[in-house]
Structure formats: C-alpha cells, structure tokens
A and B are shown apart, each in its own frame.
Chain A
C-alpha cells in the first residue's frame, strides 16, 4: 500500500462522488441518526414498581450529565457505531492494489479458437479467460454496461449490451471451446458497430445515424493470430489480456492425407507430418487406426521447432476412416488426432462426341485419366440416334464433351463444348480473332488449378458471351475465351478456341515450331482437373479433408431425397439444398469424420482436421501484444496480482460485531 488513494479504490471514489454524491451524503448521515435514536430511545421496557419515589430522587442529580454518561456507558451503541463504520468502509470497497478500470461501457472479446483449448494455464486457456472476464465483470460498477463476444474465425455475440451483470456472467459461462482458427477482424467489426457508427449516406447534410458511444474493448486471447489489418479502432479503447504461457509445449499433426501409390493405383499410402512447437526434442508414438482397428504404429523423434514426415504404406485397404493418434503428452490435444477418409473408388462416366481429336483423345487415355474416368467416344452422328436421346435424358453421365458439334438441346449432364456453342440461353460467340493474347486465368477455379498458360500461344480464338450467372476462366485481349456457367444442377464449360496445333514456319519456309494449347503442359492438367471436377476425383476424396469451420459443398446424387450430415458428436444436421442439388454445409466446427447421407444411404464421408500451424503453435510471446490497424496493444502486466478486495473481510468483521452485540443484549451484560 503506497497511499490512501491506493487503499480506497480511487475510481469508485471519484465516479461515485460525481454521480452519486447524494448516496454518500445519506450514508454519512446514518451515524448521527443512530446516536439520535439512542437519545430518543423509541422503546423502553415498561416495568411496574411499588413506587417511583426513590427513583425520581436518584436520577435527579444524574440528569445533569446523563447524556454523556449514556454515551460513555452504552456498549451497545458503541458496537453499533463500530458495525456501521465497518459497513461504510466495506461500501468504500477498499483494495490494496487498484486497477485503472475506466469507462462505463465494456466489450469483452473472448477467444475460443482451437489454441485456447491448451492446458498450460488453469484448466484451459479458455477457462482462464472466462474466469478473468467474470472477475472483471464483478469489478464493474452498477450501471456499467457490458457486451460479450466470443470469436474464433467467426464472431458470435453471446450477450448484447446490458447492465445486468448476472446475465453477462452467465453468457461468459456459456462460451464453449471450438477447434476453429482465429480471426479477430470480424469480432472487431461487430464490436465497433456501436462505438463507431457510420454515416447513413454520403450526403454531408445527413446526420449521423447514431451517436458514437466510446467503449473499452477487453480482449482475452493468447494472441496466436496475425496482425489485424484494415481496421481502425476509432472510439474503442483496447485492453489486451494475454492468456497463456510462453513455455507451452505442443507437438501437433499438421498434415495427414491418403494418396494412391504412384506406382500402383490400388495401393494406398498415408502421409503425416508432425511439427514440434516446443523447445525440447520429443519422441512421439503414432498409432494408425482404420475404423478403430489399429493397422500400423510408429515412433517418431521430432526435434525442437522442426517438422518430421512419416509415410504409412497401407497396401490395399477397404474404404473406411483412418485415424492417426499421436501420444504427445503436450498442452494441446486437439491436434494429436487426425482423420482421413478412404472413399470407395469411383470413376466418372464421360462421353466424348468428336469427329476425331487426336490430342483430346490422347489426354483422356492416359493412365491417370483412365483411373478417373471411363471414356466413351462417339461420332457426331450419334447425336441423332435414339441411344443418345436416352442417355441425354437419363442423367447417367457425368460429362459429355462436344468437340466441334452441338446437340439440339442440352442434356441432363455437365457439358464441355469445344469450338461450338451450346444451345442454351445466354451463350453466344463473336467473330474469330487471330492470335489472341491470354492475359488472365482464373487460377482459383478447380478447373484451372495448377495450370500455367504462360507458354500457350493460340492461332485464333472466339470471344464468348457468357450467361450472367457464369464466369470467364480465361480472358484475352479479344474477350473471354473459356467460360463456365451453371445450368440447373449442372455446369457447362465452353472453350472458344480450337484444340488444334498449328505449324509455324520460319522466314525461310522451314519449321520453327508448333503453337496451340495441346502443346502446353496446362492442357493435360486441365483435362485431369475437368475429370476430377465433374467426375469426383478419387484422390481428391481421399485427402486430409477440410479445416474446421470451412464450408463444404455437398453433392446429392439423387436430388429428390433429402441430404443429411451426421456430425462427429452424433448429431444430425440437414443442410439446405439448392435447386441444383448442391448444398453448402458450414457446421464443420468439430474435429472428426462427417458422414453425408441421402435418405438412409451413406453417400460420402469427409474429415475435418485442425492442421493449422498457427493454432498448434501455442507458445505465446514473452511480451504479448496485438497489432490492430496501426495500433499496438500491449498486454496488461501484473494482471495476476489482481487487487485484493477487502470489503468481504470488513463485512465479515461487521457480522462478528453484530453477533457480539446480540450476545451482550441477550445476556444483559453491562459495563
């Protein structure tokens, strides 16, 4: 204790005097009131006596100084005054080390991402954060309002602004850990909604929608996330409470997937990568289970701050769920298990209608393509036959490729048109342009993955007009050359240039080289992507799966039945289905294997794994800080030495005084 201002909570003192002076004045008036009541003595016990004659005589000369004698002699009054003093002191809330808690609006941001499950502090980091937040709420003045937001990759408002501290405490209690990555930005946006209201319009004569309400932003997190860019705190006063230990140990599985062997397609291999985020070398026992039966085990030495990979040769395995468990004994258990799904191999049914296309046919006949798809090749005359009509209407095909030909109407299948236009609304072609220059490729679309168009030179191309719902995948100076557009539950891809190869002669008339897409490596990659995208790539399905919280697009093979997903915790969710038969499933917060069912039949399974080095690396900085916009928020120091509240002790002492008074009153002990 340094001074009296340390002893008596200065904040409360100051704010109370400012806002509630009347209250304190009333309190100060209580002691004189008690003394006054003693003089008035509202209740005296009546007692009948033979005669008051002698008593009158006796008290006559005592009357002169009786007031002071009563005060001096009355133990009960003294005890009552003492009790009152203790209660008043308790109301002042003296504490030994007062924290600077300013403001009357608080927003509590509580990180419940995967790394907050670490057990290096308390029961877990999240529990510690909840405990501290609850403690802070307990310190709030009555009338202060608070708001509780939990955040991982998404922010969730647990409790809107309220001055009901009990509700705040309960909403904090209700925050559950998640396995999601961390993103502070969304939580900050939610929090700033009230503190930094925007303008309702750009018109300068407009008034602001709401008055800006400054608030104190208290962030409880381990700080395991990147800088928050593009956000201005404005009226928010940030306070960062760092949770966690910079010495925390963790060894996590950061990758786990299953691939078909390079050499033989029916052999499977499982790859896992472990990373040691601690400062000590560790040995980790790994166990691999297939549907709860252990099929392999290994011991891996991982040096400090390094990664080690391991390969399990599985051979031929039945479809099922692979689970890798690492016995690490570290502070975070969420990344000690990884799941992978081995789905039954499925080949796409592809129909190629062409008058003859050497390059395309060759690309569809490679080993890897044959593993992915069964390709049937027909001539354009086939389009007029009854067999085609049945196939086109039946929907049994995954993909129909029309090479320089077009059907009369669109089939019930995904389509690829090369050098021709689909007879569907919205598609049209312009005049051909010689030597178009490709300048943009939509590389993020699955069809264009791993393709490199830098070496592609085209002799001619036709700019496409793509339906409004579609998007161009290859753009050139002439216009879009490759586009994709949805149609009911299918997609149509149109390539606006020929797959032919041109000889290029030099000035002497000799051969300089060949130009055309098939000459580029990107062509077979595109073909493979296409088979995978439309047909269901077996290797794709056998990968490590998805990250927690990421959306998963589910395809329903029979759109009439309802799709349902069984979560790892046993619950069943029914994702909303679009007309195209696809649905986006976002409830992927839990780690484990999700089972997709159509009716009662299991359609597919997918795994959700942490696989996030940022979350697995649970070491906090020695001097934790957050970068929000251009503001660095340094974690509060000395937080552990929270202030020692003494009001409870004072009240307890007051209770003891009350008991003593009661005892004296009943035993009629007198001085």
Chain B
C-alpha cells in the first residue's frame, strides 16, 4: 500500500482484515435455514434450483443437471444482501479533550470498524450528529474505498451545532433501514442522553453505544480553587478541590456510567465504556469482540 494513515496502523489493518461485523438482528430474521456464514460474493453461494422459463439468463442454467435429467433448471444463488454499518460520531466540543482527544479516538474506532465492514463488502457510512448541516455523508463499499473513508474520517472537526438528541433524531429520520449503528459519544449533554438513545432503540437497528471518556474525566488531577468553564455553553462551576469533592465527583461519574449502561441494556443496546487511553486495537480485538460486534 502506498499510502498510510495515522488513523489506522498497518499492523492494525492486518489484524482487522481477519474480522467481520456481526449483526444479530439482520441475520436472525432474514436468513433461510441456519446460515450464519458470511457472504462470499454473488456466484459462490448456492441457494436453490427452479425451472427454466424463457428469458432466463442462460449463464445460470445448470448444465450438469440438464445432462443427467435433460431438463433445464436454473441454479439460484444468494441474492446479494449486504450489511449496513453506520458509525455515528459525536463531534461536539466536549469531545475535543484528552490525549488523544476523544474525537480522534472516536474517529479511529469508526475507521477500524468501517474497515472491517469494507473488507466484508458491507455498506459503510460514517456520520457525525450534525451531518445534515455538513452535507451528505458518502457511503463506502469495498476495500478500494478504504482511503476515501479514512480521508472522510480525518476531515471531521470538533464543534457541532446540534444536541445529542437532535442529532440522533435526524439520523434516524434519514436512515430508516436496518443495520448496525455504533454511536460513539461521551454522552455529556446537559439535556440528557436518554431521549437520544430511545430514538435509536426504536430504529430496530443493532445499536452499540461506545461511551468514550478521557482520563481527565475519569480520574481528575486538579488542585486548588478553580473556576471550571464548560467548553460548550460557557457554564461556570466554582469549586475548591478537596479530597472529599474528588471522591464525590467519582461517585457521581460512576453513577452516571452505571445508569447509561442500565439504560442501554434494558433496551437491547450494547453499552461499552471506552477510556481514551486504551489502544484502539485492544478495544476492537478485545472488548468489542467480547461484546459480539466483531469476530
């Protein structure tokens, strides 16, 4: 490969190549028999025979059967049924924190999952919550589109104009089909994340919520008398840092994470808390694999 990307390293790409995205919902309803094998292209998978009617493509006539039975049968293969994979990235200003920033981390994760999708010829679409304002998001399919997809991800800048709820509502109205949707967000929205997730769960999609938090949020290392300024709405919280306050903060954070996990689990969504310091390959090959998104 002539090109490299700082989103995904070649080593990671090599490991991701062997993986595939799994959608529990789509296959459960649609598949005949117990096929849970991945699709291998339009002419490989045999599905059924049917009688030849005039006008059928002679290329699909099963000549072996004709030789034996002297009847024309048409060999039916699996219809090409691809998987819709959506990665939904929260590009709010609050995501622009941490080292690497949560937004960069989200982009990496989306690219990694998208790459798996590309390898398996899935339809991959990576959007931000305010994608409506940014313009139409391209759909990628096939590994030849890898670089286009990476470029697209790299172009995502922090700063969006819509709230979490609004963004997801817009997304659901635009994409009514089935598929896998991975929401990558810190869920830090003053309006709450519950409404947003309800929209997603109503979509009949296979929903994954990756809750990205930076190390600073999980384990704040601050001292003194501070005036905390919210980067999104400029809201101010005056605090005098004391061990008791830090303890209190951690309790609040744990409660916040727990309630989000409960909320998702109860609605059939898969919740995953991701710390921005965990390497992306570890996240994909480890945590997401155990959660059943990939294998």
Contacts and interface: CB of A to CB of B under 8 A. Distances in A.
17 contacts: A44-B238, A45-B225, A45-B226, A47-B227, A47-B228, A49-B229, A50-B97, A50-B214, A51-B188, A51-B232, A52-B237, A53-B189, A54-B256, A56-B235, A58-B245, A58-B249, A670-B242
Interface of B: 93-95, 97, 102, 186, 188-190, 214, 216-217, 222-232, 235-245, 248-249, 251-253, 256
B75 to A, nearest CB: 58
Main secondary structure of the interface of A (DSSP, over half): mixed
Main secondary structure of the interface of B (DSSP, over half): mixed
A20 interface: no
B231 A50 contact: yes
Interface string A61-100: 1100010011001100000000000000000000000000
A54 B213 CA distance: 13
A51 to B, nearest CB: 4
A26 interface: no
Contacts of A48: 228-229, 231
Interface string A32-53: 0000000001011111111111
A69 B242 CA distance: 9
A49 B232 CA distance: 9
A58 B226 contact: no
Given A58-B249, A62-B244, A53 B190 contact: yes
Interface of A: 41, 43-59, 61-62, 66, 69-70, 73-74, 668, 670-671
Given A52-B237, A58-B249, A46 B225 contact: no
Contacts, number: 101
A183 B48 CA distance: 144
A104 B126 CA distance: 90
B188 A53 contact: yes
B91 to A, nearest CB: 13
A539 B243 CA distance: 102
Contacts of A668: 223-224
Contacts of B102: 50
Contacts of A670: 223, 241-243
Contacts of B238: 41, 44
A70 B244 CA distance: 11
A52 B226 contact: no
Shortest beta-carbon contacts, A-B, top 10: A50-B94, A51-B188, A44-B227, A52-B237, A52-B230, A58-B249, A668-B223, A50-B97, A55-B237, A58-B248
Most buried by B among A45, A54, A66: A54
Contacts of B230: 49-53
Contacts of A44: 225-227, 238
A366 to B, nearest CB: 110
Contact of A46 (B190, B214, B227): B227
A59 B231 contact: no
Contacts of B249: 54-55, 58
Given A44-B238, A50-B188, A50-B217, A55 B244 contact: no
A347 B228 CA distance: 111
Contacts of A59: 237, 239, 245, 248
Nearest to B236: A52
Contact of A47 (B190, B214, B226, B244): B226
A370 B84 CA distance: 154
A159 to B, nearest CB: 54
B190 to A, nearest CB: 6
A47 B252 contact: no
A75 to B, nearest CB: 11
A671 to B, nearest CB: 8
A52 B248 contact: no
Nearest to A44: B227
A59 B244 CA distance: 10
Contact of A54 (B214, B243, B252): B252
A670 B238 CA distance: 18
A51 B237 CA distance: 10
A41 B238 CA distance: 10
Nearest to B246: A58
Contact of B231 (A49, A55, A70): A49
A70 B240 contact: yes
Contacts of B253: 54
